[in-house]
Amino acid sequence: MSKIWGKVKQTLFGTSIQTLVFAVIAISLVVLMAFFAGAVPFHEFDMTAHAYQMVVEQSSERHPDHAPLSFTYRGNTIVLTRCISVNEDAEIEVFATSRFGTVRLSEANMANLSPYLLGSFVAVYPVQVVPIEGQLIPRRISASVKTDLRTVQSNTALTPMLSDSRVMLEIGMSNARRIFAYYGGIPLANMNIYVTFANGRREARTTDAYGYIPNVSIREIRRGVSVEYSPNYINTFIQTYMPQNARIISPAIVPLLTLTLMTAIAIVGCVFFRKMYEKRNLPASYTDVKGKRGKVKLRRAPAFVIVRWVVMIASFVLLIWGGRLLGVWFEEITIPVFACGRNNEEQLVGSVCYYMSSLNVLFTLPWQTIAMFFGGLIVPLVLFGRLLCGFVCPMGLVQDTLHVTRQATRTKGISLTDKLYARLSLIKWTFVLLFLGMAFVALDFCMICPVGVFSPALAGFKFSIFIGGFIALFVLVGSFFKQRFFCLICPLGVIMGLFHKISLVRLKKDVTACTECGACYEACPMGIKIIYTEREKTDVTTINCIMCGECVRHCPETNALAITLCGKKIYNADREKFMKANAQATPKSGKKHADCKGGGCGKCK
C-alpha cells in the first residue's frame, strides 16, 4: 500500500509540467464525476411529465364515413386530425384514460398533458345521421378513435378501457399482441364485425367467445385498424384503433452516444497516462519501442472462431432488434430468453435476466408460467451451458469488438494474475447477491446493470440509466484492456455457470499431451488456471468457462484440448495447423534487403 502511495506521491508531486497537466486533468475529472454523482442518474429520461402534448388539427381531406378522426404521433406531440366533413361545427370530445381514471380533456389539459393522464386517448365524434336511399329510417353512425401510448402497452397486459356510454364499441389490446372488442363494457362475443385496415381493405370477421378479433397481425394493428359493428339496422359503431409506434432512431440513443464518447475519452486517457507513468517509472526498455507494422502469425482462424463471430453478430442483431423485427413481420413469436428484458417487452415476455433479477415478480406468476420459465431456462443451459456466454451474449460481442480493436492497435493490455482474478471474484459474488436480492428491497438490478445502457437504447427504447452508466463506463474501458472483462463479474453468467457439471458442451483435456506451456491460460479471457495445471481429470469445464475456444486455438499440442458436444469433438487443438502458420510466417513490413528470407539473418537493422 505504501509502495502504491509512494508512486502516487511521486507522480503527483513531481516537478515537471506533465505533473501539472496530470493534476489539472485529474481534478477536473473528479469535479466532473462529482457533478454526475450529484444527480445520481447517469441519464434519466423524462418519460412522463411535460413530455406530451396534444394538438387538434384540421385536415383538408374529406373523410369517408367511418373515419372522421385520426391520431398520429409527431415526436412527443399527439396529433388529433379531424377531416373536413359536412358537420363542421361538431364538437369532439376527447377522453384520457389512464390507471388513475378517466378525464375529459380540455384545451388547457391538451397543451400540457399531465403524467396522470397518460395512457389511452379516445376521441369521440358526434353521432352522424346518414340517410339511406330507399329506407325510411336513416343510419346513425357513432365514430370514435383510440390510441395507446407505448408506456401503457408495455407495462400492462390489457390497455385501459374507457367504458363510457358515449363510446359503446371499444377496442383494446392485450399483451401488446392481440386486439379485442368491447361493446357496452362487456366483451363482444361471437359477433360479426367488419375490420378495415390501413390500406383500405375491408374484411368481415367473427369475434371469439372472449371478444378477440382473429387474424389481425401486430403489423396491421400498428398501422391502424377500424372495427365496425352494427347491432341493428339503425346503429353502426365504428372505432379506429392505432397504438403508438416506436421509431428506429429515437432519443433513447442519446445516453449511449454519451457513453461511447466518454469510453473513447477514458480509453485514450488511460493509454496516455499509463505511457506517462511508465516513462517515468519503468526502465526505457519497457516503453522505448518504435514501429507497429510487423505481424505475428497465428493459427489461421479455424471454423470454430468464424462460426463464433457469425453467431455472435447474428444473435446481437436478433436479441437487440429481433423483438421489433420479428414482432413486425410475424405475429406469434416469442424470442427466447437471454435478451435484455428492457429491450422490447412486447415480445420478450420471458426474459431470464429480468425474472431472475426480480424474483418477487416471478413467484407471483401462475405456477405453470414459473414451470415454463424454469424449463425454458434449464433446457438451453443443459444443452449449451455457458457456450451461450461465448456465442450469444450481445455484451460479449461488444467486449470482443473492443478487444479486437486493442489488438489491432497493438495497445498493451492488462494481464491479470491469479491473485487479481481471485479479487475480481469477490466483486462477482457481490454482483450475484445484488442481482438476486435487489428486487426484494424494492430496488431494481437494472439500475446498476451496465448492459441496460446500450441494449434497450440500440433497440430504440427509452430506459433511464442510473448508476449503471458509471459501471458501464468502467466495464467498457476494462474490456478494452482485458478481454471479456465484464464476463468476469457477470452475475447472470454465474447462474448459468451453475449448470457446468451437466451441460453437454464440455472442455476436455488430454493430461499427458499437455506440456503445461500455459498458452491456454494466457489466452483464456476468464483466467481459468486449472486448464493447464490439471493433471488428473480429463474434464476441465469450470463454472467460469464460456466456451470461447481461445484456449483450444492457442494450444500447440495435438488433441491436448478439445471442445466436445455430447462427447463428440467439435474443435480440437492441432499442432500441425499451428506449425503451418509458423512455416508461412514471413514478415510483411519493415526494411528488408534482397536476400532476406524471413528475417533473422542479422542484416536487417
* Residues that bind another protein in the complex, under the rule CB under 8 A: 283-286, 288-298, 406-407, 410-413, 415, 417-419, 511-519, 522-523, 532, 535, 550, 554, 556, 575, 578-583, 585-587, 589-590, 597-605
Residue 603: alpha-carbon gap to chain centroid: 55
Instruction: List 70's β-bridge partners, or say none.
Output: 81
493 contacts 547 by C-beta, under 8 angstroms: no
How far apart CA 494 and CA 356 sit, in angstroms, is 12
Smallest gap from Cβ 528 to another protein, in A, equals 13
* Residue among 316 and 481 whose Cβ is closer to another protein: 481
CA pseudo-torsion sign 405, 407, 409, 413? positive
69 contacts 239 by C-beta, under 8 angstroms: no
Angle between helices 451-459 and 253-281 (to 10 degrees): 140
* Residue among 150 and 274 whose Cβ is closer to another protein: 274
SS3 call for 539: strand
Smallest gap from Cβ 478 to another protein, in A, equals 16
Smallest gap from Cβ 389 to another protein, in A, equals 19
Smallest gap from Cβ 423 to another protein, in A, equals 13
* Residue among 259 and 562 whose Cβ is closer to another protein: 562
* Residue among 46 and 288 whose Cβ is closer to another protein: 288
Smallest gap from Cβ 529 to another protein, in A, equals 8
Smallest gap from Cβ 280 to another protein, in A, equals 16
* Residue among 360 and 582 whose Cβ is closer to another protein: 582
* Residue among 301 and 333 whose Cβ is closer to another protein: 301
* Residue among 91 and 536 whose Cβ is closer to another protein: 536
Smallest gap from Cβ 514 to another protein, in A, equals 7
Grid cell for residue 386: 455457458
Grid cell for residue 304: 470454430
Question: Which stretches within 13-74 are classed as H helix?
Answer: 17-38
* Residue among 187 and 556 whose Cβ is closer to another protein: 556
457 contacts 438 by C-beta, under 8 angstroms: no
Strands 235-243 and 139-148: parallel
How far apart CA 180 and CA 139 sit, in angstroms, is 25
Amino acid type, 24: V
Smallest gap from Cβ 567 to another protein, in A, equals 22
* Longest CA span, the chain: 110
How many C-beta atoms surround the C-beta of residue 36 within 10 A? Answer: 16
